[in-house]
A = this chain, B = another copy of it.
Amino acid sequence: MHMSHTAEIIAVGTELLLGNIANTNAQVLSQSLSTLGVNVFWHTVVGDNPERLKEALDAARRRADIIITTGGLGPTYDDLTKQTICGAFGKPLILHRDILEDIRTFYESALHVPMPENNTQQAELPEGCTVFDNPVGTAPGCAFESGGVHVLMLPGPPHEMETMLRRHVEPYLRKLSCEVIVSHDIMTFGMGESSVDQLLHQRMSHMENPTLATYAKPYEVRLRATAKAADEAAAEAMLAPVVEEVRQILGDVVYGVDVSGLPEACLGLLKEKGMTFATAESCTGGRVAERITALPGASAVYRGGVVSYWTSVKGAVLGVPQEILDQYGPVSEHCARAMAEGARRITGADIAVSVTGAAGPDPDERGVPVGVVYIGLAVPEGTFCRKMDSGRRRRDRIQGVASNHAFDVIRRYLTGLPIDRETEI
């Protein structure tokens, strides 16, 4: 028999209710819990308020057997999570001297400053708990079990929470579970969510295990195929035909399975072929460069690029001929081609991609409408161009979708697909 666990995530922090930050911790935890086969039916956010945290804990105890809290473990005076949870579950708080020393050491050796004295309370933890040490911050986390409910307290800063999740929480939860859920993400670019949904609806609506669901990510659509089974091999055997069928139905808009996005897909393809690339960006202003260099190991394939925001920089640094700039303007197919060729030449990369367009809020000075963007690609065989027209969307949306087009053009070239096809987004 497979016992399925249910977790609830309670985030504590007035800064969430005031909108100063988004609850990204709940997202990261949910992804992990989904992989571990733990159901999540509720996320709750309450402020630094003991009464409402108590109410949230009481509701969660009725509905779930795992409660994970984030936040409220910090050194400041409104951090009350531990006290409130210990009160609700009848556990005393104990000062751990060894943890206090760890916190002091972290301040001195990693941050090079003495520990502020208000950090002492971070070393107080519930009696008899499992301690989760915090190698990237100061507040340790912990877990205890009480009346069949597991309570896990994690710090609020996202990188501390995530480090603790991988090091301590996932191993802790893996011991509780005896059913696995395996998912594969099928990544697509170039087709809208409605169209993907219509193509797959007949197939999806009859599925119970495995399941298939569409999610609109920014600028693209992800499909997640998920199977529950007694072990990983059984789940994988259930998923393989689903992934294959989706690939067949959607065709070459599918750019990868279980990759984080188009930049990672391109990184893999370029590594495989031992090729390097460069960028020349105007309206995306460095977004293509930033997205590839966010990935560890990018230096194996990415040489660098130019952000030619001013027209003069397109001429002086990339060598775009003045006649092209005068005759066709900086937002034109001719300019996109010359920018890509220039970036390829000055960096010595095997291929180069360029982006020039009108991201808004105003049209380009020659009246090119907002949303029109040209993507150039210079490769050993010649130079190609794709025109994209995303319509009048917001500046950051246009920049985002244009950066995806840049990677899509690289991906299509490297996999032998046509580059200048019409796209729906």
B interface footprint on A38-54 (CB within 8 Å = 1, 0 otherwise): 00111111110100100
Q: Does A169 contact B (CB under 8 A)?
A: no
Contacts A194-B116, A285-B292, A394-B159 given; does A27 touch B31 at CB 8 Å = no
Residues of B within 8 A of A216 (CB): 157
Q: Does A327 contact B (CB under 8 A)?
A: no
Q: Does A118 contact B (CB under 8 A)?
A: yes
Q: Does A341 contact B (CB under 8 A)?
A: no
Closest partner residue, chain B, to A305 (CB atom): B307
A224–B14 CA distance with the chains assembled, in angstroms: 12
Nearest CB of B to A119, in Å: 7
Residues of B within 8 A of A306 (CB): 304-307, 317
Nearest CB of B to A340, in Å: 15
Q: Does A348 contact B (CB under 8 A)?
A: yes
CB contacts under 8 Å to B, within A264-292, are 279, 281, 283-290, 292
A52–B43 CA distance with the chains assembled, in angstroms: 12
Q: Does A363 contact B (CB under 8 A)?
A: no
Is A18 a contact partner of B41 (Cβ separation < 8 A)?
A: no
Contacts A44-B44, A52-B41 given; does A298 touch B312 at CB 8 Å = no
Is B286 a contact partner of A20 (Cβ separation < 8 A)?
A: no
Contacts A30-B17, A391-B112 given; does A290 touch B285 at CB 8 Å = yes
A80–B367 CA distance with the chains assembled, in angstroms: 43
Residues of B within 8 A of A303 (CB): 309-310, 312-313
Partner of A18, one of B34, B194, B284, B316: B34
A217–B47 CA distance with the chains assembled, in angstroms: 17
Number of copies: 2
Is B305 a contact partner of A310 (Cβ separation < 8 A)?
A: no
Which of A171-179, A197-205, A247-255 faces chain B?
Answer: A197-205
Q: Does A209 contact B (CB under 8 A)?
A: no
Closest partner residue, chain B, to A111 (CB atom): B391
Is B316 a contact partner of A289 (Cβ separation < 8 A)?
A: no
Residues of B within 8 A of A307 (CB): 279, 286, 289, 293, 304-307
Is A75 a contact partner of B194 (Cβ separation < 8 A)?
A: yes
Contacts A32-B19, A296-B395 given; does A347 touch B313 at CB 8 Å = yes
Residues of B within 8 A of A353 (CB): none
Closest partner residue, chain B, to A39 (CB atom): B17
Closest partner residue, chain B, to A40 (CB atom): B17
Q: Does A392 contact B (CB under 8 A)?
A: yes
Residue of A18, A52, A302, A361 ringed by the most chain B CB atoms within 10 A:
A18
Contacts A30-B18, A46-B42 given; does A304 touch B290 at CB 8 Å = no
Contacts A306-B306, A394-B159 given; does A22 touch B17 at CB 8 Å = no
Closest partner residue, chain B, to A310 (CB atom): B303
CB contacts under 8 Å to B, within A159-211, are 159, 192-195, 197-198, 201, 205
A306–B286 CA distance with the chains assembled, in angstroms: 9
Q: Does A419 contact B (CB under 8 A)?
A: no
Q: Does A214 contact B (CB under 8 A)?
A: yes
Is A198 a contact partner of B299 (Cβ separation < 8 A)?
A: no
Residues of B within 8 A of A23 (CB): 22-23, 26-27, 43
B interface footprint on A10-26 (CB within 8 Å = 1, 0 otherwise): 01001111111111101
Contacts A17-B41, A19-B28, A393-B159 given; does A347 touch B310 at CB 8 Å = yes
Q: A17-B42, A118-B194, A118-B201 are in contact. List 8 more A-B contacts (CB 8 A).
A: A16-B30, A20-B217, A76-B214, A77-B197, A110-B392, A111-B391, A157-B216, A286-B305
Closest 10 CB pairs between A and B?
A285-B293, A286-B289, A19-B30, A19-B31, A286-B286, A43-B45, A304-B313, A286-B290, A304-B309, A22-B27
Show 22 residue pairs from A and B whose CB-CB distance is below 8 angstroms, ordered by the A residue.
A15-B213, A17-B30, A19-B32, A19-B34, A23-B27, A75-B194, A77-B205, A111-B391, A113-B192, A136-B394, A285-B290, A286-B288, A286-B289, A287-B290, A296-B360, A296-B361, A303-B309, A304-B307, A305-B307, A312-B348, A316-B346, A317-B317
